[in-house]
Amino acid sequence: MVTREVTVKSATGLHARPATLLVKKASSFKSDITIEHNGKKANVKSLIGVLSLGVSKNSNIVITASGDDETLAVEELAKLIASLDQ
């Protein structure tokens, strides 16, 4: 299991377009991946789950992956979230 804390810098947080990009990227991995925000967890492969967390700008989230490609999954998702601030 690999875990990493990431700060969301996107002006809209993880809503609509950024959440869709995140779900699409997460779905390319075999591992089970979750994000946690304010004590709530969601499967990153579920758009409704990600949107239900209500992640806003400057929020800290924890990405956790468990499976064959867990390290790569966490790295790639953290990179994607960091790139969303543009």
Residue 86: pLDDT band with limits 50, 70, 90: low
Beta partners for residue 60, in sequence order: 7
Beta partners for residue 34, in sequence order: 43, 64
The model's pTM: 0.94
**DSSP secondary structure code for residue 14 in this structure:** S
Angle at 17 between CA 11 and CA 18, to 5 degrees: 55
Residues labelled as active-site residues: 15
Mean pLDDT of 34-43: 97
Mean pLDDT of 30-41: 97
Residue 84: pLDDT band with limits 50, 70, 90: confident
Percent of the chain scoring above 70 in pLDDT? 98
**DSSP secondary structure code for residue 41 in this structure:** E
Domains along the sequence of the chain with CATH: 2-83 (3.30.1340.10)
